[in-house]
């Protein structure tokens, strides 16, 4: 018996397809930005430690961009969080209450990571203390790796109502839960973590190539041209290594994750179905294709854009696959798609208008970034 009332399904304020579409779209955008601090930050720290002119150039560019990327990624994460609360709130609140203190920890960890990244960016400004970069970069990195662990715990626990009673009995006094539970015994936990980290390595490698080809302004200065070309060659080599490494980590983790899903009653019948095959294979093949293509291209704006598009489609396949699995897991306690619907136009229309304005502002910001005068790289 699961400790929640799965009998009543209150009305959804928007059609189910709308909730799913924006939840997955928001999560894709969250993954795109989150991947750059999940794996891009460790790559920037390694580049900083390599201490060559090109590796330092990449580290400076990445550390200068990360505060903006983090702001975007956090806001993109709010979109799926909103829709989780609208439609998946029963399993979501139940699981996050069992691990409340860990879930609460996300806030201080994120504050430290965010300020740490700002201190890193400022340490690169003229007059800044470059000695700050490594200690604060490392502190931010460990905070973000820890938040990812908490996120994977919460999202995996949401789909494991069979574990809730165990956590409740282990972490409660009387009937009151202490909120000290964590889903560490779940065999899928580190495989989900590894799949996302592998994907993040490939996404960060693509970002390096995209940044080097699209965001470094063309110049007529012959000297600067030589430096920029040597930098693009270096980014291609560095990115190739991490893209292939990412592809291998993704394949290793995701294939094992699929093996476990094949043994679970909620997912074993869906996996061999067409959507199961298409989205699981797409999750594996597209990032791998991106990694291989980086080896053979990535020296022009066109190829950088193509890599970006293929990787984004790979991220979308992963997010859709994950959404199918989440719905199947949650169906143990509630049939999400069978919610009665009573559209609340008074909230839906402002949401849509603000969402479109938000996207337009981000496009304008990225255009400003792309057309801004070149930064002085220390
Ligand atoms: C306030 C900031 C953040 C918000 C609002 C947020 C929001 C979300 C949401 C709503 C999901 C689940 C999406 C879904 O099921 O559709 C998610 C998943 C995830 N987030 Fe974030 N996130 C935030 C910060 C972070 C940070 C700092 C990291 C660190 C790397 C991170 C890593 C992840 C990972 C790895 C997942 C996938 C978990 C899984 O399914 O196994 N997030 N995030």
Question: Is 154 touching ligand 1 by the criterion CB < 6 Å?
Answer: no
Nearest residue CA, atom 43 of ligand 1? 77
pLDDT of residue 3: 59
151 C-alpha to ligand 1 centroid (Å):
5
Return the higher-pLDDT residue of 243 and 12: 243
- Are the C-beta atoms of residues 165 and 177 closer than 8 Å to each other? no
Q: Is 87 a residue whose pLDDT tops 70?
A: yes
105 C-alpha to ligand 1 centroid (Å):
14
pLDDT of residue 117: 96
Which of 189-203, 249-263, 327-341 is predicted least confidently? 327-341
Q: Which of 25, 29, 30, 139 to mutate to test the pocket of ligand 1 (most atoms within 8 A of CB)?
A: 30
Ligand 1 atom nearest to 196, measured from its CA: 35
Average pLDDT over residues 22-31: 96
Q: Which of 28, 143, 155, 201 to mutate to test the pocket of ligand 1 (most atoms within 8 A of CB)?
A: 155
Token pair belonging to 194: 């590894």
| DSSP symbols for 316-329 | HHHHHHHHHHHHHH
6 band by pLDDT with thresholds 50, 70 and 90: low
Q: Is 189 a residue whose pLDDT tops 70?
A: yes
351 C-alpha to ligand 1 centroid (Å):
21
Question: Is 150 touching ligand 1 by the criterion CB < 6 Å?
Answer: no
Nearest residue CA, atom 35 of ligand 1? 148
Average pLDDT over residues 39-50: 96
Q: Is 69 a residue whose pLDDT tops 90?
A: yes
Average pLDDT over residues 345-359: 89
CA distances from 309 to 286, 301, 363 (A): 10, 12, 16
CA 127 – CA 37 distance, rounded (Å): 25
Q: Is 181 a residue whose pLDDT tops 60?
A: yes
CA 358 – CA 145 distance, rounded (Å): 28
7 band by pLDDT with thresholds 50, 70 and 90: low
Q: Is 366 a residue whose pLDDT tops 80?
A: no
Ligand 1 atom nearest to 79, measured from its CA: 10
Give the chain's mean pLDDT. Answer: 91
Nearest residue CA, atom 6 of ligand 1? 77
Nearest residue CA, atom 24 of ligand 1? 74
Ligand 1 atom nearest to 26, measured from its CA: 16
Handedness of CA 334, 340, 341, 347 (dihedral sign): negative
Q: What is the pLDDT of residues 192-249, one digit of tens each?
A: 999 999 999 999 999 999 999 888 877 788 888 899 999 999 999 999 999 999 999 9
Question: Is 160 touching ligand 1 by the criterion CB < 6 Å?
Answer: no
Q: What is the pLDDT of residues 115-146, one digit of tens each?
A: 999 999 998 887 777 788 999 999 999 999 99
Q: Is 175 a residue whose pLDDT tops 90?
A: no
C-alpha 159, offset from chain centre: 19
342 C-alpha to ligand 1 centroid (Å):
28
- Are the C-beta atoms of residues 6 and 334 closer than 8 Å to each other? yes
Question: Is 207 touching ligand 1 by the criterion CB < 6 Å?
Answer: no
Percentage of residues in the chain having pLDDT higher than 70: 95
Average pLDDT over residues 352-358: 88
364 band by pLDDT with thresholds 50, 70 and 90: confident
Q: What is the pLDDT of residues 257-308, one digit of tens each?
A: 999 999 999 999 999 999 999 999 999 999 999 999 998 877 788 999 999 9
Q: Is 58 a residue whose pLDDT tops 70?
A: yes
Question: Is 78 touching ligand 1 by the criterion CB < 6 Å?
Answer: yes
Token pair belonging to 191: 């495989």
CA 338 – CA 116 distance, rounded (Å): 45
**Radius of gyration of the chain from Cα atoms?**
22
- Are the C-beta atoms of residues 67 and 133 closer than 8 Å to each other? no
Question: Is 40 touching ligand 1 by the criterion CB < 6 Å?
Answer: no
CA 148 – CA 77 distance, rounded (Å): 13
- Are the C-beta atoms of residues 206 and 33 closer than 8 Å to each other? no
pTM: 0.94
pLDDT of residue 376: 52
Ligand 1 atom nearest to 158, measured from its CA: 15
77 C-alpha to ligand 1 centroid (Å):
6
């Amino acid at each position: 018996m699961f400790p929640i009332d799965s009998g009543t399904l209150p009305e959804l304020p928007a059609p189910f397809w709308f909730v799913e579409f924006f939840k997955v779209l928001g999560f894709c955008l969250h993954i795109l930005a989150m991947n750059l601090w999940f794996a891009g930050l460790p790559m920037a720290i390694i580049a900083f430690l390599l201490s060559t002119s090109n590796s330092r150039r990449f580290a400076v560019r990445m550390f200068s961009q990360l505060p903006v990327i983090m702001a975007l990624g956090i806001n993109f994460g709010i979109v799926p969080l909103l829709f989780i609360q609208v439609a998946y709130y029963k399993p979501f609140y139940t699981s996050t209450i069992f691990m409340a203190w860990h879930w609460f920890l996300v806030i201080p960890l994120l504050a430290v990571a965010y300020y740490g990244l700002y201190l890193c960016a400022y340490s690169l400004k003229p007059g800044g203390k470059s000695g700050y970069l490594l200690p604060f970069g490392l502190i931010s990195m460990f905070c973000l790796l820890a938040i990812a662990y908490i996120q994977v715990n919460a999202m995996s626990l949401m789909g494991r109502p069979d574990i809730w009673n165990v956590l409740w009995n282990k972490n409660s006094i009387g009937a009151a839960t202490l909120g000290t539970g964590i889903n560490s015994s779940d065999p899928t936990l580190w495989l989900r973590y590894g799949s996302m980290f592998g994907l993040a390595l490939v996404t960060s490698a693509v970002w390096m190539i995209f940044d080097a080809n699209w965001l470094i302004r063309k110049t007529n200065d012959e000297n600067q041209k030589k430096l920029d070309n040597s930098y693009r060659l270096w980014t291609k080599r560095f990115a190739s290594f991490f893209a292939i490494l990412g592809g291998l980590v993704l394949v290793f983790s995701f294939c094992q994750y699929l093996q476990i899903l094949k043994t679970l009653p909620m997912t074993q019948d869906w996996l061999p179905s067409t959507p199961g095959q298409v989205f699981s294979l797409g999750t594996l093949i597209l990032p791998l294709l991106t990694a291989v293509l980086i080896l053979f291209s990535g020296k022009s704006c066109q190829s950088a854009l193509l890599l970006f598009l293929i990787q984004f489609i790979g991220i979308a396949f992963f997010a859709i696959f994950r959404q199918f699995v989440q719905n199947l897991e949650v169906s143990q306690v509630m049939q999400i798609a069978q919610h009665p619907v009573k559209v609340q136009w008074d909230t839906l229309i402002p949401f849509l208008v603000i969402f479109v304005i938000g996207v337009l502002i981000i496009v304008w910001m990225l255009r400003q970034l792309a057309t801004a005068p070149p930064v002085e790289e220390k």
